[in-house]
Structure 1
Amino acid sequence: MENKIFSFLGLAQRSGNLVTGEDTCIFNIKKNAVKLVIVANDASNNTKKKFQDVTGHKNVKFIIYGEKKQLSHAVGKINRTVYGIKDEAFANKLFSLIKDCLNNLGGE
């Protein structure tokens, strides 16, 4: 299941439907251009809280998943913590995949 998620992230990157990095994601959230935000499990608590707050105010889906190294590798970037999905269909599918994976692991 994780491989499918990472492959899907890579596809989002290649299709131009992914933004990465804290500042870029915040900018795109404020422009209502992001439909889903993924924050790595190993992000700081401040980063998690900041994105939980800003996505809540903008009604953007938010989920914590994966580790920085895995997520960064999946999209061909180095040391990225925050990912924004711009396309609604991509966002819905990826959110569903991640929720299913977390439910199968017994955690969230």
Structure 2
Amino acid sequence: MTPQQQAEHLLGLARRAGKLTMGEGFVLAAIRDGKAKLVIVASDASPRTIKLFHDKSSFYEIPYVNALTKLAIAGAIGVPRTALAVVDQGFATKLIKLLT
């Protein structure tokens, strides 16, 4: 199994465990509140969306990854989303290792 496939499985597990925040507005709020431990944005998101989350993540010093496509994210968590925030440090650490 490739690291990307492992990451997709881990995202599904994190969703079932309630450790993901999904949707652009909710992810931005999690970043501002300091709850986000990792921000994941689809690599095929619009340039504006990618810049917005990259800048917010950089400002609040939260790790940022855009290694998955919208299709891969949807397959992993079961719903189409462009942006996710992982709110658990254990999941975040493992996902960073797998996606970078």
Shorter-chain TM-score above 0.5 = yes
Partner Cα separation in structure 1 for residue 34 and residue 68 of structure 2: 24
SS at match of 2:27: helix
**Partner residue, 1:91:** 92
Q: TM-score scaled by structure 2? A: 0.94
Uncovered stretches (5+) of structure 2, i.e. residues with no partner: none
Within the candidate set 7, 19, 22, 2:21 is matched to 19
Residue 106 of structure 1: aligned partner? none
Q: Deviations over 1:21-65 (max 9, x none)?
A: 111100111110001001111000110110011011111000111
Alignment partners' CA distance in 1, 2:43 and 2:92? 19
**Residues 1-108 of structure 1 correspond to what in structure 2 (within 5 A)?**
1=2, 2-78=4-80, 80-99=81-100
- Write the letter of the residue equivalent to 1:34: A
Q: Secondary structure at the residue paired with 1:38? A: strand
TM-superposed deviation, 1:83:
0.9
- State the Cα RMSD in Å: 0.8
Deviates more, 1:17-26 or 1:69-78: 69-78
Cα distance in 1 between the residues matched to 2:88 and 2:52: 22
